[in-house]
Amino acid sequence: MALKVTAKDIKGVISMHPTPSTPDGGDWRQTKSVDFNTAKKLWNAMIKSGTSGFALCGTTGENAALLWDEKREYIKAGVETINKRAFVFAGATALGTKETIRQMRELQKLGVDGAFVGLPLWQTPTIQNMNDWWKDLAEAVPDMPIMVYSNSMFFKTMFPVEFWEGIGKYATTVVTNKISYPMDHLADDIKAATDRVQFVPGKSGAFAAYKAVGTKIRGLWTTDAAPEPFVALSDAIQRNDADEVARIKADFDTLPSRNPPGVEFRVEFPMYNAQIERGGWNASNFIPGGVGPMRPPYRDLPDHWVKSIAGYEHGWDKMREKYLAVAEKARP
């Protein structure tokens, strides 16, 4: 079956943002914790600022902290509000193949453009596990595009070239990949996965990816509020304007560190990932009033992170102004 979204459609900036929560959304008793009014404002603001796509309900979107009914209604609202102005992938990661397939089929009924899927988080995966996982998903839902959530911190693998060879052979519905692992074998990964898969790095890997494979990178993912600097970077990469990419990198390098002094990133960040990203959105001026409190159990965020996040977001908000004109031209 033909896929309605393919690798060639994946370009620009893809937002992976928090799921807005109601004022009492941090209470486990609240079974309707989604703030739909803020969510609609967020989607409209991101599109106005040049966002090309959304991947809802990943780690930052608290896929694991939402009830299925909450997630379903939230994604339904997203599809309706975004209304084809940007593509929409929706999180379906679960602990087993059958549950992921069930969610993919339900999300497909809601009109999403594809599924955002990582590996099960129970056992450390073998190459055979990984090959079977994507092969089974393609067989079960053959007309639903998939974005691979390849995060080495969380999914207990470094996503070696052998993994991408399996994607190229068996995963006929995988069209894109959120890269969250070291870039040292990126060129080999892309070759192994074939041109059917568009690889999408984030801020920390964008410049290394461009250096390694040039314009084979056409899109970027972001968990930040205010996407305009990413829109400018994505545009420069697609035009293969190396000088502009370097200028944007120089701007990025002036930002205050979001990582607190003396903290080992790969030790603490996995403990507070969702909290850090939501804290950034709440500290930013992009969505007045922020996006609400964290849902349980991910509610703890130490003061040293709160302070560093506030400094980073202040710098990001100031830098954003420089790129508003570029984002204006890139609006869908």
pLDDT value at residue 76? 98
Q: What percent of the chain has pLDDT over 90?
A: 90
pLDDT grade, residue 55 (50/70/90)? very high
pLDDT grade, residue 328 (50/70/90)? low
Instruction: Return d(Cα 187, Cα 183) in angstroms, integer.
Output: 8
User: pLDDT tens digit string along 25-47?
Assistant: 999 999 999 999 999 999 999 99
At residue 273, the 3 state secondary structure works out as: helix
User: pLDDT tens digit string along 288-326?
Assistant: 999 999 999 999 999 999 999 999 999 999 888 888 866
User: pLDDT tens digit string along 209-240?
Assistant: 999 999 999 999 999 998 999 999 999 999 99
Q: How many helices (H) and strands (E) does the chain have?
A: 12, 8
**Which of 5-9, 132-136, 144-148, 202-206 is predicted least confidently?**
202-206
Which residues lie below 8 Å from residue 68, measured CB to CB, with a gap of 6+? 103
Which residues lie below 8 Å from residue 171, measured CB to CB, with a gap of 6+? 134, 135, 137, 138, 146, 148
Structural domains for the chain: 7-327 (3.20.20.70)
Comparing CA positions, the residue from 230, 226, 301, 316 lying closest to residue 260 is 301
pLDDT grade, residue 331 (50/70/90)? low
Q: Is the pLDDT of residue 121 over 90?
A: no
Residue entry with tokens 């939501």: 278
User: pLDDT tens digit string along 65-88?
Assistant: 999 999 999 999 999 999 999 999
Which residues lie below 8 Å from residue 256, measured CB to CB, with a gap of 6+? 308, 311, 312, 314, 315
Query: Which pair of tokens denotes residue 283?
Result: 């500290």
